[in-house]
Amino acid sequence: MERDETRVVVGVDGSPDSLAALRRAALEAAVRGAVLVPVLARRPADRVPERAARLLLDAAFDAALGGWPSDVLVHPTVVTGLPGPTLVAAVGGPGDLLLLGAPHRRRAHPHGDRTARHCRSHAPCPVLTVTAPPIGTTAARIVNSPANMPS
């Protein structure tokens, strides 16, 4: 991948929030004409084989989008390292966008806040955090969105 290509980088770990971030990242990549770079960071202590990590990426795309998107170029990345530095390293420059799943406080991921803090402090581009809606609220949010209100 060329360093001058605009990228939309997204952290993927299979959580509901990362799936929401993946959905938004695919949309952002399509709108921007950017390369979608889903990054799965394997912690050194996890000992997750790369093949298993790639299968997790496949499952995440299936769950979030119904499969790999055909309307954007995708460069999936599996890297061994801490999520924050790994995600920041995947960003090419200030014109890129970095998306992260942001867990609700009630079910916070043990490393989520640390990763988001690191990315916001060190990424040279905008960082967008995305939270999955609580179960059962998606329809209400769609129905009550301004786009669906009578004029």
Radius of gyration over every alpha carbon of the chain, rounded to an integer in angstroms: 15
Per-residue pLDDT of the chain (151 residues; tens, 9 = 90+): 555 689 999 999 999 999 999 999 999 999 999 999 999 998 777 777 888 889 999 999 999 999 999 999 999 999 999 999 999 999 999 999 999 998 765 455 555 578 889 999 999 999 999 988 776 544 433 343 344 344 4
Two structure tokens written together for 144: 């009550």
SS3 call for 67: coil
pTM: 0.81
User: Which residue(s) pair with 101 in the sheet?
Assistant: 130
What's the pLDDT score for residue 49? 82
What's the pLDDT score for residue 47? 76
